[in-house]
Amino acid sequence: MSEHIKKKALELGFAGCGFSKAEALSEDAQRLNAWLKEGYHARMSYMANHKEKRIDPTLLVEGSKTVISLLYNYYTDRKQRDLKAPILSKYAYGRDYHFVMKEKMQLLFEFIKSLHPETEGRIFVDSAPVLDRAWAKRAGLGWIGKNSMLISRSAGSFVFIGEIILNVGLEYQTIPESDFCGSCTRCIEACPTGAILDNRTIDSERCISYQTIENKGDISPDIEVRLTGRVFGCDICQDVCPWNRKALNHLEHGFNPDPELMEMSREDWQNLDREKFSLLFNQSPVQRTGYRKLKSNLDSLQKNP
């Protein structure tokens, strides 16, 4: 059954599929508590909520036995035409990954039920207190890099992670993937704000992605001057990672950007109004930050060209 599920996942376009026993993650719980204690979650107060469920899926899904971890590639070598235009993270080029992945995962879930009709479970795509990267690592799909991203030897780090938590036992991964970061420190050195600490921890307050997406207030002045043109998210630590040198372009039509978006000039961005925002970013991850926040980010870039 495990092999059938993996085969179907790959047929549906997933870049990786692995299984873990649903149980408490004691070591990851310690790391989470230490991260929260240091205040590295900044104003993301929700990260401190439901900690018990976040580290133990059996409390999140009653009767759960298995966590299926799934990777979905979103890498693209396409670039915005105007090199001086505000820069979007690659994951925000097309349709919101929550929609795309859930549709694919629902198909996989229905396939599992066809194999085992008594199957019950839930699908999660960055929408509940689940330690996505920890579970993907536990399932043998990669290791946690120095930039805290999951890195897959076959797919790199430009991958979304989702889970299906089931009441069915499967063949679990028992040997974790080795750590292949070695002595490389390119991600740490490339981060313009020093957000990547030397213990594979991110100080969110100093992270451009946090400041341009999660932070609903003004961007910290000391970060504002180091945005390096980023208006929504940041890919710098991934762009310099050697494990992404051979990353393949995704094959997901839903992630393809609106051609008009890629053609926008710096001036077009500065003149962006609500109507244009709604047209360009319908069902896009950029909707998460909203028009006012995006305009505020643009103003920050204008002050620090």
Beta bridge partners of residue 32, listed in sequence order: none
- In this structure, are residues 159 and 71 in contact, taking their beta carbons and an 8 Å threshold? yes
Which of 56, 126, 132, 198 is an active site residue? 126
- In this structure, are residues 123 and 111 in contact, taking their beta carbons and an 8 Å threshold? no
126 noted as active-site residue = yes
* CA–centroid distance for 180 within its chain: 20
215/83 Cα distance (integer angstroms): 26
For residue 84, give the 3-state DSSP assignment: coil
101/68 Cα distance (integer angstroms): 14
Nearest to 63 by CA among 6, 106, 119, 25: 119
Q: Is 188 exposed, middle or buried (0-12, 13-18, 19+ CB in 10 A)?
A: middle
The phi and psi torsions of 151 (rounded to 5 degrees) equal -120, 125
* Beta strand 159-166 pairing with 121-124: antiparallel
Catalytic residues: 126
